[in-house]
Amino acid sequence: MDNEIQNLKKRILEWDVIPVPKPRMTQRDKWLKPPRTPVQNYWNYKDVLKGFSLRDKYVVSNPLSLIFVLPMPISWSNKKCERMVTQPHTQKPDLDNLIKAFKDALCIDDSHIYAYDHIRKVWGYEGKILIVDYTND
């Protein structure tokens, strides 16, 4: 697999959006007006990702490689922020829910994704998603 990845061309996409995990949803969430806050935030996030995808002509492909950059709390001191930038984010939201929200926003059927290359979540000054888009061109 590593040799296959080395032969692919890649481009790095940077999408300025705070990553949102996929919430646990119920049947009620389809018709509840107004929607629960986590559900509304998730729907807004999906719309933003679709817009970035159209702008950058991005299609989810194999291997999927993502870095979710989650913003540091404003209550943290500058010293702590400097120490924590790019460090692993080990709190909620869970990485699998961030991945699930990303794939659900951009894939009608995500069964074609068979490999992950490099996926992680880290602390940053601002929220964003970094995507390595591999192509065969």
- Please count the structural domains in the chain: 1
Structure-token pair, residue 96: 């699998």
Q: What is the pLDDT of residues 84-116, one digit of tens each?
A: 999 999 999 999 999 999 999 998 888 888 888
Position with higher pLDDT, 36 vs 28:
36
Task: Tell me the three state secondary structure of residue 107.
Answer: coil
> What pLDDT sits at residue 127?
95
Can you give the residue range of the structural domain that contains 50? 2-135
Share of the chain above pLDDT 90, in %: 58
- Indicate the pairing of strand 116-124 with strand 128-135: unpaired
CATH number at residue 85: 3.30.1330
Is the pTM value of this prediction over 0.95?
A: no
